Structure 1
Amino acid sequence: MSIPTNKMKAVALLLKRVKTARRQFRERGRDESLDGNLEKLRRELNKIRKLFEKVKNNEQELLHTLSKVDGHLRTLDSKRLNQDMNDICKRIRDSAQKLLPKGDFDDSSGEEDDDRRVILLHPSRPSSKQHKNQLPQHKKLNMNLRVLETYERNCLLSLLVFPEGAVIKKRQTIYWWIGEGFLESTELKTAEEEGEDVIDKLLKSNVILAYGNRECPIVNKFQINPLVRPKLVILSRENHRSYPFPLRIPYSHIRSKWSVLEQKKVTLGENSLKPESRINTIFNVGASYLNFGSQWLDKSIQNLKVLQLGRWQDSPSHHIEVGSEKFLQKLQNQKNLTYFSLRGISRISELPPSITLLERLQILDLKACHNLETLPNDISSMKSMTHLILSQCYLLEGMPKGIEKLTQLQVLEGYVVGNSRKSPQRISELANLKNLKRLSIHIGSEAVIKEGEFESWREMLALEQLKISWGVSCKGYSDIKVILPLRLKRLHLEGFPGDEIPEWLKPSKLPEGCKELKLMGGMLKSMNHEDNIGWRMEIVRLMYLKHLKLELTNLSELFPLLRYAEIKQNSKRTQMLSLN
């Protein structure tokens, strides 16, 4: 079908064809340059869609240009689209300018995401931990890489294991660095806090660039500055005797202490993929299908510290599966293993009891193991554990015994509150974890919570970040009296079943240092409260609260200290929350 002469239909049809063309080109093989050009075209067409509402005359020239664009898209002429895109967009812009009085054509994007609004109310100069903008890729390096401390250089150069342009998760990377031994706790800071400082330093010097929402003051993901990466390769060559791992450079050590899995299908324990006795790290960079030979870890291997089999990729859709979970039985002899990640791996239903023999294991990451149903009955022997990550393991119905005895725990994510039969542990016992800084709990459909169970949380003086999610919509669970730790800084509530703000969430009940609030899903209808003061939060995220009645103008009244608010609603609520 040719381009219609009706101007509104013409733009609508072209937008549809741009979408189709992008999909078809991606199926042929992703071309970043072409995809970027088509995105540029889509934005120009969106501007035109609004302008056509004002246009009454002199539209033939513009339609003629659009017809040419339509021809390129229908024939999937990638060469013409790449070569002529700047000229095409300029002709569209020039034609539109002729149709309106001077000044009516806005060269900004003129569009927002259909269901996302970002409101920056009181912007302040961001640090790297609270970083306002994603740095442009042409930002130049302002650090001499050779003056980095040894541990900082180790952290930085290890990032070369990731493919060029990869989006890297900050927290997961820090966990890995801890496992490698690059980071250690000091008298003043935990190893994770030391890692935050390294990331902070690299961000400030433009060695790495924050990735994601440019307005968000918190950095969760980053990329290596493309202008810096070649310098890192040179630095890694200069120091190759000090770095026993392959860093995506033209050569690697004959006896590398690293084994990097890059092929899509991998069988460990066979031929060249049989780990050497000196191996320290096995890192899965690109494998989606993992199989394990019977001797994949024999008794001669005693130095394995890092086993990163799980997903590091930013996208949760990245698939990894194992042929069998029997390979886990071979881990019991790895007494030096400190970091073990199965994040996002399918077809693992049970973690065997032998895993509890890993007494030096510090970080166990099982996030998003969607088939995981069973954990060892008792994990109290794993005294070195500092990070236990069980979030998004939706088939878990209870917790193993002994968690309250892991007194070194700093992070516990995905703690399931079930019934007394499946999970005999009580919430109150978590107060024994005096070093716990980050906690997330999930209140399951059969949860039994006794009166006063949260009272002991007053004693959790180290806890700074707390997430509570509800897996039930019964309002009875909204009446639970939660006692928030005194030094809490960040609070995240997901699926709250009540329709009103509970007593414990009112401004007068919250710790003074709590500066960040995230409410996601649930039945909440109103943010109104009876206190005479507003919330002290500076960062607020309201996500998928389809029942919430909230005017945008109320935000500054409810949160007088607000610096940043992120609101994501379904399409029915979008206009009410729009800045427009």
Structure 2
Amino acid sequence: MLGEFIKYDPENKSGYEDLVLEVCGLQYRKQASGFAVVVPPLNAGSSVDDHPDEAEFESAYSKLSEEEQKRLCCFLLFPAEAEIKKREIIHCWIGMRFMDSMDAEHLLAKFVSVGLIERTFLYKKILNRYRMPISVRSCLLGRQTNPLAQIKNDGSWSILHHQKMGNLDETEPMRRSLLRRMTMVGSPPPDPSAISDGNTDPEALLNVSQTTLNAARFKTMSGMEKLRVVHLGRWHQDSKEYIVVEDIEAFKYLRNLSNVAFLSLEGVSGIVKLPESVYDLRLLKVLDLRACNNLETLPPGIKSLDLTILDLSGCYLLDHVPLGITSLTNLQQLKGFVINNDQLQQKPNGRTKRKTKEKGKRTAASSPCSFGELSKLEKLRKLTILTRKMNFPTPQDFETLCELENLSCLRITWVGNSTTEVPPDSDDLGMFPSSLEKLELQAAPNPIASRLLSLISQDTENCGLEKLYLRGGGLRELKHFFPQPTIVRLRYLPQLQINWDDFIKLFPNLKRLEVLGCPNLALFPCDENGIWENTQ
């Protein structure tokens, strides 16, 4: 309906859009990086304007450098109108050797500001997902002066490759000699010679929808020796869907892909031990093993890699992370680091077993990595921890955290049961690193949560904490003063009791509050979506 109004009255297009935004109760959002404003899509299936003037697209597109245009084309690797998680597109950029993760968020914000992609909202909650409007996708594919991409889609696999062109313009530098072309191929993947005819080199492979991977598929893939991005795992938001590998031995074909910089096995089941062939990928920068639900062991060969991002989130059977990880001196993000109880190894099903003597001698690289050893990772910026020690963090652990001078994001999840003993309070625990900007505490026992919140409130001079997220656990009260945080999330805290007047006094600089599953908060002025924003 909106498209029809705009079609017949284009001069008042902006007025119609503003009216729809007002009726829907949606507001413009500013990107954290300062790039203009973000208008959320009105629904998941369409944008404000389904048929934009091509001149508008060209105007926005022309504001990008050639390198930025190449990065934008990576969105074409995913299905039309797909909601793409931020980390997926950033990992692809790193894999294609376009940029590192620190610059990526600024570029995403720029793409949003000029209208080439949209930030995804759920009600009023900002999600870390993006989508390219179908109209923008069509214009990008249909450009005549610079045919960046060509699509053939049956929804199974996506391949991105360069096409070597002749000299398009003798006055243009050599850097314009490579243009992007995209091909969507079905099941099974084509023979490499069919897509690499001497003029093309496949560089990215995405599993769009296949839930089963067989040996033939791996063998075919091994012929694409120029691949930089191999995304075999899950990329969408359906966390209940897993991908099955019929023959683990088929992973041996990976060793032929010596140029791979990003390997995703997210949601791939049946991997108990990470195949040794992965460690032959010496150019690998991003290894995504998120939600590999059968993964129990990382071999010591991990020390041979030069990773910048390692994601082990959701690998709940993983008993420990090997000491060899401390050799990854360029690691910037480590997600899913495991801390076990010294005496007991607690399994996710609640059962415990005593440690037994292992057959043979463990090598140094395969021995469990203690938390203190992480101080060697001087470039670490993001760290998520799963701890089965209820007294974590100890004073020694705080010393390790403070040695990570670049650490800006920290998430700690406690895994235990109600009978686990928590040590008595200590007044001399330590402080969080001054570089910390975001802290998330998940399932923290009440004594631990209260103690850590007390430390944050005491360190008013050195702490630059901007975001404080509390999710699950036994927290019962908030009683400390927090002058730093501007964004707070309270989720699934059934025992927390406080009224609004007392709460807002504790957070004088609060700009945004998100509440979910906290039934004992009194008189909080949140809207129907659990959101409160300071509009003053």
**TM-score if structure 1 supplies the norm length?**
0.68
Match of 1:334 in 2: 257
- Asked whether the equivalents of residues 567 and 577 of structure 1 are also in contact (C-alpha less than 8 Å), the reply is no
Match of 2:48 in 1: 138
Aligned partners of 2:112, 2:329: CA distance in 1, in Å?
33
Does 1:351 pair with 2:274? Answer: yes
Judging by fraction of residues, say which structure has more helix. Answer: 1
Aligned partners of 1:406, 1:438: CA distance in 2, in Å?
14
- Asked whether the equivalents of residues 295 and 318 of structure 2 are also in contact (C-alpha less than 8 Å), the reply is yes
Match of 1:167 in 2: 83
Structure 1's unaligned 5+ residue stretches are 1-32, 34-106, 111-119, 185-190
Q: Deviations over 1:134-170 (max 9, x none)?
A: 2552267574313421221111122123222211111
Give the deviation of 1:467 after TM superposition. 0.6
Q: Mapping of 1:497-512 within 5 angstroms?
A: 497-499=445-447, 501-503=450-452, 505-509=455-459, 511-512=462-463
- Asked whether the equivalents of residues 379 and 402 of structure 1 are also in contact (C-alpha less than 8 Å), the reply is yes
Match of 2:7 in 1: none
Give the deviation of 1:417 after TM superposition. 0.8
Q: Deviations over 1:455-482 (max 9, x none)?
A: 1321211111111110124351685846
Q: Is the radius of gyration larger for structure 1 or structure 2?
A: 1
Bigger mean CA offset, 307-316 vs 124-133 = 124-133
Match of 1:565 in 2: 513
Amino acid at match of 2:323: K
Match of 1:193 in 2: 102
Pair 262,346 (structure 1): closer, same or farther in 2 beyond 3 Å: farther
Give the deviation of 1:542 after TM superposition. 0.6
Bigger mean CA offset, 296-305 vs 338-347 = 296-305
SS at structure 1 position matched to 2:134: coil
- Asked whether the equivalents of residues 497 and 521 of structure 2 are also in contact (C-alpha less than 8 Å), the reply is no
SS at structure 2 position matched to 1:351: coil
Amino acid at match of 1:134: P
Aligned partners of 2:142, 2:195: CA distance in 1, in Å?
30
Greater length-normalized contact order (CA 8 Å, ≥ 6 residues apart): 1
SS at structure 2 position matched to 1:402: helix
Match of 1:223 in 2: 131
Aligned residue among 476, 499, 503 for 1:525: 476
Aligned partners of 1:254, 1:538: CA distance in 2, in Å?
43
SS at structure 1 position matched to 2:334: strand
Match of 2:31 in 1: 127
Match of 2:111 in 1: 202
Aligned residue among 325, 328, 340 for 1:406: 328
Q: Percent identity among equivalent residues?
A: 28
RMSD: 3.8
Judging by fraction of residues, say which structure has more strand. Answer: 2
Q: Mapping of 1:175-574 within 5 angstroms?
A: 175-181=91-97, 183-184=98-99, 191-213=100-122, 215-216=124-125, 220-235=128-143, 238-240=145-147, 243=148, 246-248=150-152, 266-267=187-188, 278-293=201-216, 296=219, 301-382=224-305, 384-419=306-341, 424-444=368-388, 452-473=396-417, 474=420, 476=422, 481=429, 483-499=431-447, 501-503=450-452, 505-509=455-459, 511-529=462-480, 533-569=481-517, 572-573=519-520
Amino acid at match of 1:335: S
Aligned partners of 1:249, 1:295: CA distance in 2, in Å?
21
Pair 346,578 (structure 1): closer, same or farther in 2 beyond 3 Å: farther
SS at structure 1 position matched to 2:385: strand
Pair 146,305 (structure 1): closer, same or farther in 2 beyond 3 Å: same
Pair 164,355 (structure 1): closer, same or farther in 2 beyond 3 Å: closer
Amino acid at match of 2:61: L
Aligned partners of 1:497, 1:363: CA distance in 2, in Å?
33
Amino acid at match of 2:510: L
- Asked whether the equivalents of residues 138 and 227 of structure 1 are also in contact (C-alpha less than 8 Å), the reply is no
Q: Mapping of 1:39-54 within 5 angstroms?
A: none
- Asked whether the equivalents of residues 516 and 538 of structure 1 are also in contact (C-alpha less than 8 Å), the reply is yes
Aligned partners of 1:521, 1:260: CA distance in 2, in Å?
44
- Asked whether the equivalents of residues 151 and 182 of structure 2 are also in contact (C-alpha less than 8 Å), the reply is no
Pair 565,528 (structure 1): closer, same or farther in 2 beyond 3 Å: same
Match of 1:76 in 2: none
Q: Deviations over 1:163-208 (max 9, x none)?
A: 2221111122111111012x23xxxxxx112211221111111111
**TM-score if structure 2 supplies the norm length?**
0.73
Aligned partners of 2:446, 2:223: CA distance in 1, in Å?
57
Give the deviation of 1:222 after TM superposition. 1.4
SS at structure 2 position matched to 1:228: helix
Amino acid at match of 2:216: G
Q: Deviations over 1:338-388 (max 9, x none)?
A: 100011222222212332222211000011111212211342111x21000
Structure 2's unaligned 5+ residue stretches are 2-21, 164-179, 343-354, 356-365, 528-536
Aligned partners of 1:515, 1:124: CA distance in 2, in Å?
21
Amino acid at match of 1:126: K
- Asked whether the equivalents of residues 160 and 183 of structure 2 are also in contact (C-alpha less than 8 Å), the reply is no
- Asked whether the equivalents of residues 262 and 285 of structure 1 are also in contact (C-alpha less than 8 Å), the reply is no
Give the deviation of 1:399 after TM superposition. 0.4
- Asked whether the equivalents of residues 323 and 370 of structure 2 are also in contact (C-alpha less than 8 Å), the reply is no
Amino acid at match of 1:138: V
Pair 321,377 (structure 1): closer, same or farther in 2 beyond 3 Å: same
Aligned partners of 2:387, 2:279: CA distance in 1, in Å?
26
Aligned partners of 2:402, 2:243: CA distance in 1, in Å?
41
Give the deviation of 1:450 after TM superposition. 6.5
